[in-house]
Structure 1
Amino acid sequence: MIRRLLLAIAGGLCLWLAFPGPAIWPAAIVGVALMALATKGVRARGGFLLGLVGGFACFGPTLHWTGTYVGALPWLALSITESVYIALMGAVCALIQSARRWERLPQWLSPADGPHVRPVAIALLWVLQEAIRDSMPFGGFPWARLAWTTAGTPLAHLASIFGAPGLTFVVALLGGWLALAIDRVRRGMPPARSLLPRLWPVVAGLAVVALAAVYPTPTGGKKLQVLAIQGNVPTAGLDFNAQRRAVLDHHVKETDKAAALIKAGKLPQPALVVWPENSSDIDPTRNADAGTEIVRTVDRIGVPLIVGAVLDQPVGHTSNTSLLYEPDKGIVATYVKQHPVPFAEYMPYRSFFRHFTKTVDLAGNFVAGHRTGLFVIPTKTDGTVKVAPIICFEVAYDSLTRNPVKDGAQILAVQTNNATFGYTAESEQQLAISQVRAIELGRSIVHISTVGVSGLITPNGVVHDRTHLFTPAALSGALPLRSEETLAVRLGAIPEWLACAAAVLLAALALAGNRSSGRKANLPEEVRALV
């Protein structure tokens, strides 16, 4: 069992290495393979333990940024909670890999040295595990998905086919194939003439990567000139908004600097300016000074501005919003974040959790919006352009990014604030999610943070004008506008539903087969021979 535990830990660490900042993407495939090998040949309870250990080896370092300024307890609680999902998957992986039912499959599916159905089952289980983890509890936490490890890699091109769940399936399938190849080789090195048949999973995996590399990701279309402002904050950490007026002033100052460069002909005239989440934590609808400062900035730059603002409404609550300002008009449209972050923007069961830590009182009291955001931006040369505001962690949720595209969004503005996570990999991880989303949705994305890392992303997932952490910056670029829907957008959640249903069916068949074999083993030998 010690060897299996070491395999599981190594697998979890490999998964961590695949995410930004290490960003060694093939490590995700190795990680899946090692965890599959660790759970092969054990009972379900052993698979649960191995999955729990491997899951924490992954989530512990990957999500370490969650405890940057609030201590170890929230980080450990989240990491262990996320690891439980991997533990449950590990139990089912052990069940499926030990199922005797697969031996009854046709020879090409179940050769003497191991059924080919197992890698597919492992891939389906990863999709099922992520689907559950991404939706519960409290709306789920779709961070550290296998799909996000593919940002900037050949595999990411496949996102436009079946979306993020499809990418997870491909990464896990490659890991399953690698596990099958390793298992075959360790049974004994075959003669040279039979080496290739035994290593076909590796060949198949390389073929998938090669095909993904040449799969087209269209980037054509007329372009929209945008300007995104990373204004920076007075200080990193939970107290970043202690000087809320200073944060707003920083963004005004950087916008005015850019306006001066535009007037001097050193920057092109934008059709749209985007500020990040929390760029105005002072409610500009209730604070005349803040409202006036923003309106004057819009009038000086002369084009629409999307502002991330915290509004003191409804009564007794707050709302995380995107506000669309137009010159000479002020606020013309509002979007309220649909998925406030539990234990951060709001605190479920606050009185209960206060028994464990007083840091729960640091959580906000935000309410959720109920409408998809879609801003119609007037331009001087290209008519109107539809822009979808996406606030912070919403970019990790499939439906919250897909729905505005189905409603006609031509470009996405991902507004985020990473100041509360300091100099950690959180910013890089979020940018990677936007890269995958750009390909999946076939849309350009303005990914703008108060403190970075920010970037302008074209529909092929390439980041332009990438910024550094805690550095003021103005990002200027012409982003392609596209209206065609990718296959991933047209199919929506259907592929994920089918994969989850298939995973449940395979698990049920494996369980039934094992029970049947167990009953048969209890029969007398002469009776077993007749069954």
Structure 2
Amino acid sequence: MPAVDGGPGTGTLERPEGPGSSPGTAGTPVADRRRSLLWRTLLAAAGGLAMVLAFPGYDLPALAVLGPAALALAVHGQRVRTGLWLGLVTGLAFFVPLLSWTGVYVGSFPWLALAVSQALFLALLGGLTAPVSRLPYWPLWTAALWVADEAVRGRFPFGGFPWGRLGLSQTDGPLLAFAAYGGVPLLSFAVALTGTLLAAAVLALARARRRAGDQAGEARRARGRVLRAGAAVLTVPLLGALAWLPLPGASLTDGGPTATVAVIQGDVPRAGLDFNAQRRAVLDNHVQQTLQLAEAVAAGEEPQPDVVLWPENSSDIDPYRNADAAAQIQRAADAVGAPVLVGAVVGGPQEFISNTAIVWAPDEGPGATYMKRHPVPFAEYVPFRDFFRFFSEKVDLVRRDFAAGDEVGVLDVGGMRLGDLICFEVVYDGLVRDVVDGGAGMLVVQTNNATFGYTDESAQQLAMSRVRAVEHGRAVAIAATSGISAIVAPDGTVVRSSELFEPAVFVAEIAQRDDRTVAQRLGAAPEWLLTALAAGAVLESLRRRRAGSAG
């Protein structure tokens, strides 16, 4: 790894070399400083846009490395306040388009408020990257800062919003393998490190070009630094390619006893916030698709399922309190001859409601349940409702707050041990890790994306499931009310998938695996270790600055 410290061959700090700067001078004219800030701002914005292109909707995951590369180049050797600005520019260029689906039916204010709040975390990242960029081996510490920033963003405020982490863009390519060894944090680190090493190579090349006319020995050393920096850029992808070798392949049936799983996508009468205005129609759609599956099984066209998966919100009529809804679900379970995992909105506890998965067995009715542990703030509950109503009356679209469950979503169904995650829970590392620790042989994601219409939200959520499959070496079945439903192999390959807003039924034989990946064994340790490295680098940069001031 190139040790870029601002002054090759010395222990001193020089003004960073690049457009708009004048190394070796006592000061920079105002016009030059303005030009420097302009090109740095444009570079930071380009990095944010490159990261957007890496995510579903554009599906160019290799471009993700350009985000950390561009920000590293833009802030290299700059002051903290300049880094804050450049990080904010990167964050806005990234999150405003990435999260545009959040405003499709509620207007621009909630969307832009969320995007700006997330961009502020990248502003902090830019501000910390600036002083760290003066340290030896700064590409390593800068990449660790990306992980630390994502760790904080994924926890605060209101439980965090870890959407758009670098690692979640990697649905293909050599870097995805790192998920199996250190989860999403290590995968984000691999993306960021590749980018920062690329930035170091660009700086080394610029320095070599400026020194091409120097003495032969110095020019040769400069070219050598360029070659080493270029080789370092390729190191991480090469390691990723090797890391794939011992991992599971695209087969759904290898690695353990198999079970037959059916996924039902019943569709909804309409997209939007009022998707469930005809709640009975949504329930009927899923019942009807299950009855058709039962007919196909009876005709020998489909195998007999061991379990049938319905999505989140497949019954927004509480089947515990509505006898007709319960009768329809029972009708479907009895017809297909297998337990149905129903996604329901259930009254209680107390004045709350709950987003609950119910195992509904033939002849027996409702059994084991899982209550969503991480309700989404401002979508399933509204913190400080009176305060936020001042900014937008849309908060009152959430009429009753959802309660949070306190038990891990592991359900024994049809001889299988399913790890159930409801909708956005798939983005939270700890929730996914808990169900695998609980013995889940496969992962199930019950989701309802009808409230986001024909946007990239569904594809972005599917990408998370693909990363989780590799991280935990498990197949993942996604059941969505309106799409995208899918079945994902342990290597992240999408074996089956549906289109948006159309009925779909999948039946697949899926192995119930019990092996544990390195990532599962290590848990959150890689994230904490990389965060500690980042914190140490920040402290060292402060120590050096104080020592320089004292000298």
Structures share fold, TM-score greater than 0.5:
yes
Q: 373, 376, 379: which one pairs with 1:338? A: 373
Task: State the TM-score, normalizing by the size of structure 1.
Answer: 0.92
* Shift of residue 212, structure 1, vs aligned partner: 4.1
Residues 155, 213 of structure 1: 8 Å contact kept: no
Work out whether 1:260 is the aligned partner of 2:295: yes
Equivalent residue, structure 1, for 2:179: 159
Residues 180, 201 of structure 1: 8 Å contact kept: no
Work out whether 1:413 is the aligned partner of 2:433: no
Residues 133, 139 of structure 2: 8 Å contact kept: no
Equivalent residue, structure 2, for 1:11: 47
Q: Deviations over 1:83-110 (max 9, x none)?
A: 0100001000001113xxx4xxxxxxxx
Q: 441, 454, 472: which one pairs with 2:503? A: 472
Change (3 A) 1:215 1:95: farther
* Shift of residue 122, structure 1, vs aligned partner: 1.1
Equivalent residue, structure 2, for 1:461: 492
Equivalent residue, structure 1, for 2:168: 148
Equivalent residue, structure 1, for 2:519: 488
Distance in 2 separating the partners of 1:481 and 1:142: 28
Equivalent residue, structure 2, for 1:126: 146
Distance in 2 separating the partners of 1:369 and 1:198: 50
Q: Deviations over 1:334-385 (max 9, x none)?
A: 110000000110001111111111101012410100110211123xxxxx21
Amino acid at match of 2:106: V
Work out whether 1:200 is the aligned partner of 2:235: no
Q: Which range moves more in the overlay, 337-346 or 209-218?
A: 209-218
Change (3 A) 1:137 1:262: same
Paired residues in the alignment total 499
Amino acid at match of 1:134: G
* Shift of residue 457, structure 1, vs aligned partner: 1.1
Change (3 A) 1:152 1:207: closer
Residues 163, 488 of structure 1: 8 Å contact kept: yes
Amino acid at match of 1:437: R
Distance in 2 separating the partners of 1:43 and 1:215: 45
Q: Which range moves more in the overlay, 234-243 or 309-318?
A: 309-318
1:501-512 equivalences under 5 Å are: 501-512=532-543
1:73-472 equivalences under 5 Å are: 73-98=109-134, 102=135, 115=136, 117-189=137-209, 194=224, 195-217=226-248, 219-363=254-398, 364-378=400-414, 384-472=415-503
Residues 255, 513 of structure 2: 8 Å contact kept: yes
Amino acid at match of 2:127: A
* Shift of residue 505, structure 1, vs aligned partner: 1.0
Residues 157, 217 of structure 1: 8 Å contact kept: no
When the two chains are superposed, the root-mean-square deviation of aligned CA atoms in Å is: 1.4
Q: 57, 70, 82: which one pairs with 1:34? A: 70
Amino acid at match of 2:128: V
Amino acid at match of 1:391: I
1:465 alignment partner, SS class: strand
Amino acid at match of 1:78: L
Work out whether 1:59 is the aligned partner of 2:95: yes
Distance in 1 separating the partners of 2:255 and 2:310: 26
Distance in 1 separating the partners of 2:299 and 2:193: 54
* Shift of residue 475, structure 1, vs aligned partner: 1.1
* Shift of residue 215, structure 1, vs aligned partner: 5.0
Q: Deviations over 1:279-330 (max 9, x none)?
A: 0000000001001100111011101110000001123211001000111111
Residues 282, 290 of structure 1: 8 Å contact kept: yes
Residues 174, 237 of structure 2: 8 Å contact kept: no
* Shift of residue 128, structure 1, vs aligned partner: 0.3
Distance in 1 separating the partners of 2:201 and 2:235: 11
* Shift of residue 64, structure 1, vs aligned partner: 0.5
Identity %: 47
* Shift of residue 435, structure 1, vs aligned partner: 0.5
Residues 80, 128 of structure 2: 8 Å contact kept: yes
Distance in 1 separating the partners of 2:287 and 2:532: 51
Equivalent residue, structure 2, for 1:110: none
* Shift of residue 213, structure 1, vs aligned partner: 4.8
Distance in 1 separating the partners of 2:533 and 2:464: 26
* Shift of residue 519, structure 1, vs aligned partner: 2.1
Distance in 2 separating the partners of 1:2 and 1:215: 47
* Shift of residue 152, structure 1, vs aligned partner: 2.8
Gaps of 5+ in 2: 1-36, 213-218
Distance in 2 separating the partners of 1:441 and 1:206: 21
Q: Deviations over 1:26-78 (max 9, x none)?
A: 11101110011011121001100100111010001000000000000000000
Residues 158, 215 of structure 1: 8 Å contact kept: no
Work out whether 1:46 is the aligned partner of 2:64: no
Q: Deviations over 1:218-256 (max 9, x none)?
A: 542222111000000000000101000000000011111
